[in-house]
Structure 1
Amino acid sequence: MEISEIIIAGDTPGVEWRLPVFRFKGSRREAPRVYMQAALHANELPGTALSHFLLERLRQANADGAILGDITVVPQANPIGSAQSHFGELQGRFDLGSRTNFNRDFPLISLGGRDKLLDDLDRHSAMDRLKRHLLHMALGADLVLDLHCDDEGLQYAYIDEAFWPEAADLATALDMKAVFLSDGESSVFEEAVCHAWKNETEGRKKTALPGRLSVTVELRGTRDVYPETSQKDAEGMWQFLLGRGVIAGARTDLPTFAGKVVPLDNIEMIRAPEAGAILFHRDIGESVKAGDLVATIIARPGMPDGAVEVRAPQDGLIVTRVSTRFARRRSDLMKIACAQPSGAACKPGTLEA
């Protein structure tokens, strides 16, 4: 095992960021190469905990000669965001300097342009240099796993249609309850990786990518960081790596994936019609019917018309819910995975900012 650091010079004098990278050299050239990162949104830590326990097992596997494919793990992919605290609260989703989401605006390049990502880095901001280093490492792999979490949520993933249903083994191994089939229309990390693979050959875009995978894994909610769940997640990832031939060893037979599989168009983003205190009537993991009361917004406390009801627009599974109990007008409340497309107008790409 090799441990190195990528140093990201800051945008002001006397500041630099250090990015630890763990690498394991595989013994078989034909085995899949893996890149895994966690906490790109620096306050989303279930993936960091998973990485900690997985690295323990990988070190032992390395000592036993069981690592078949090259593996790169970045347990805390965003040292810039990890240092951003505002009034005692970690601000890891947006760069406070540029107001940009750390998981947006990754370069959309062809695979042949990979090495140019690191050319003339000094002309880029610290945040963009970080993104370029992460994307450069990922494009050297075949299996790319970006570990995130939601606010309050089930275990689920965003997976490009090009990888489905081949990626069902990952969904089953990590005990996911849902898979959102993404449309490849954004600049988030996993879609930037997929974009490069699809455009490996100039002027000829691929629609299928056998043997490859780029995925955003959502490991429940921000508060779900416990020894038991993290070790269970690490075991699930271990089984996935065994099954894909990255590690040698006996694997557990995985059942057929039984969770919901829906395109992004079928996700109902439930938003607050007015500002106020949120009273949730339904929890994550519950199935709802069209018209069911899912939340009440106390917009004008004490007034006869002060409570505003929020109802499910169609049948579906509640996959996520916000942890805050105050809503601004049009702020997100829930994601409901449904069998039919949403009737609400939405832009291509990511569901949230």
Structure 2
Amino acid sequence: MDVSEIIIPGDTPGTEWRLPVLRFKGRDPKAPRTYIQAALHAGELPGTVLLHFLCERLRQAESEGGIAGDITIVPQANPIGAAQSHFGELQGRFDLGSRTNFNRDFPLISLVDRATLIEDLDDYPATDRLKRQLLHMALAADLVLDLHCDDESLQYAYIDEAFWPEAADLAAALDMEAVLLSDGESSAFEEAVGFAWKYQVPGERQSRLPGKLSVTVELRGKRDVDPVLAKKDADGLWRFLVTRGIVSGETAAVTFSGPAVPLDNVEIVRAPAGGTVLFHRNIGERIAEGDLLMTIITRPGQPGGIDLHAPQDGLILTRTSDRLVRRRGDLMKIACDSPSSVSRKAGALEN
């Protein structure tokens, strides 16, 4: 295992950020190249501990000549966000300086322009330098996995329709409970990778990308930082690498049995008013149209409250861990068989 650091100078004197990069050299130049990163949202750590345990297996495989394809791993992809605290609370999702989501505004370029990402880096602020160097590394690979987590959540993934159903092997290996098929229309990291591949020839869009994969994996919720779960997920990711011929090994064939639905089929339940939320249903439950999902107590101690019901049948995928909620705040995502009646703009589901 080769360990190096990318140094990102800060925007103020005396400040710099260090980004550790772990590389495993493959023996077969024709095998797929893999890039995996975690904690782009700096407070989302299930992927970091997954990679900690996965690297144990990779080091053993490397010593035995069992790695076919090059593997690059960035276990904590956002040292800038990891250093941001506000009144004692980590602020790892949004850059405090620009108020931009760390997983948005990645450059949308053609693959042939990859080298331009790291040209004239001093012209950019630190957060953009970080994003450009992460994307530059990823675009050298064939398989790109961006490991995140949600709030309270099942295991699921955002996968561009250009990679489906070929990517069902990843969903099966990681025992995902759902897949959300994205439209590739945002500037999130994994969609910026897909954009570069789709427009490998500038101006000519490819709709299918066989042998390629760029995906956001949601490893349950923020509090699911657990050695048992992390080792289970590391085993699942190892199975995927075996299946794709990146590492040597044997593994039993598994199939993905969960729903795979377009983003238009995701119902996002939002708070019509602020207050204390009482959930009546949990993640992983299948609900029917009209089922009582939650009650918002807007005036504690006084009569009344707001009951929210299921807009259609579906699987509860996520819910907020907050119990004091704001007006229009996202409370729950439900994966459904039919499109939502609420129109959605192209791109990411939420900021």
Coarse TM-score class (shorter-chain normalised): over 0.9
1:87-166 superposed matches below 5 A: 87-166=87-166
SS of match in other structure, 2:276: strand
Residue aligning to 2:8: 8
Cα offset, 1:302, TM superposition:
2.4
SS of match in other structure, 1:7: strand
Which ranges in structure 1 are unaligned for 5 or more consecutive residues? none
Within 2, Cα distance between the matches of 1:123 and 1:204? 30
Cα offset, 1:303, TM superposition:
2.4
Cα offset, 1:89, TM superposition:
1.4
With normalisation by structure 2, the TM-score equals: 0.99
Matched, 1:277 2:276: yes
Within 2, Cα distance between the matches of 1:252 and 1:10? 47
Offset from partner CA, 1:216-262 (integer Å, 9 cap, x none): 000000000111000000000000000000001212221x2100110
Within 1, Cα distance between the matches of 2:66 and 2:346? 42
Residue aligning to 2:286: 287
Residue aligning to 1:180: 180
SS of match in other structure, 1:20: strand
SS of match in other structure, 1:336: strand
Within 2, Cα distance between the matches of 1:340 and 1:172? 23
Within 2, Cα distance between the matches of 1:42 and 1:343? 34
1:181-260 superposed matches below 5 A: 181-254=181-254, 256-260=255-259
Q: How many residues align?
A: 351
Within 2, Cα distance between the matches of 1:185 and 1:164? 16
Offset from partner CA, 1:59-104 (integer Å, 9 cap, x none): 1100000010000000000000010111221110000111100000
Cα offset, 1:282, TM superposition:
0.3
Q: 2:319 aligns with which of 318, 321, 324?
A: 321
Within 1, Cα distance between the matches of 2:250 and 2:343? 48
* Residue identity in the other structure for 2:270: R
SS of match in other structure, 1:101: coil
SS of match in other structure, 1:94: coil
SS of match in other structure, 2:170: helix
* Residue identity in the other structure for 1:335: K
* Residue identity in the other structure for 2:275: G
Matched, 1:55 2:55: yes
Offset from partner CA, 1:148-204 (integer Å, 9 cap, x none): 000000000000001101000100110100000000110000000000000001221
* Residue identity in the other structure for 2:324: F
Cα offset, 1:36, TM superposition:
0.1
Within 1, Cα distance between the matches of 2:114 and 2:136? 6
Cα offset, 1:271, TM superposition:
0.3
* Residue identity in the other structure for 1:81: G
With normalisation by structure 1, the TM-score equals: 0.99
Name the % identity. 69
Cα offset, 1:6, TM superposition:
0.2
Offset from partner CA, 1:276-323 (integer Å, 9 cap, x none): 000000000001111111010001222223x00111100000000000
